[in-house]
């Protein structure tokens, strides 16, 4: 999502190497994906799993404070879907990547998030 960020920062201002920044961005995408899935499915799972979902989400947010904050309602689901597509993009073939990118762009425009 923000892959361009490490390319435009002068190396003197970067606290990490380019490779470290790439790794951290990949981790953030995965964390955003998991947090979205946990949040959207929380109410649908049995109570015994809700506590585990909440604990995992809490631990992820503590470890990755810059992870995307989710809002309630349709926007939360749109953000979660877009984060999932962003994470899964690298595993898709070229045709699927194009479809993911187009759909994500439409979701961002409709629900006004980045």
In a domain, 105, yes or no: yes
Question: What predicted TM-score, i.e. pTM, was given to this entire model?
Answer: 0.74
The model's pLDDT over 8-66, given as tens digits with 9 standing for 90+, comes to 555 555 677 889 988 988 999 999 999 999 999 999 999 999 999 999 999 999 999 99
Domain span at residue 51?
17-111
In a domain, 7, yes or no: no
- Using DSSP's 3-state secondary structure scheme, residue 23 falls into helix
In a domain, 25, yes or no: yes
DSSP 39-108: HHHGGGS-HHHHHHHHHHHHHHHHH-TTSPPPPSTHHHHHHHHHHHHHHHGGGS-HHHHHHHHHHHHHHH
The count of domains in the chain is 1
In a domain, 4, yes or no: no
């Amino acid at each position: 999502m923000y892959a361009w960020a490490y390319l435009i920062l002068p190396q003197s201002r970067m606290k990490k190497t380019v490779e470290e920044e790439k790794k951290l961005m990949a981790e953030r995408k995965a964390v955003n994906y998991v947090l979205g899935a946990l949040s959207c499915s929380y109410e649908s799972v049995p109570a015994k799993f809700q506590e585990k979902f909440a604990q995992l989400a809490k631990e992820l947010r503590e470890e990755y404070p810059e992870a995307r904050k989710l809002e309630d309602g349709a926007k939360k689901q749109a953000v979660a879907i877009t984060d999932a597509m962003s994470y899964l993009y690298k595993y898709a073939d070229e045709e699927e990547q194009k479809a993911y990118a187009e759909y994500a762009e439409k979701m961002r425009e409709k629900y006004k998030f980045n």
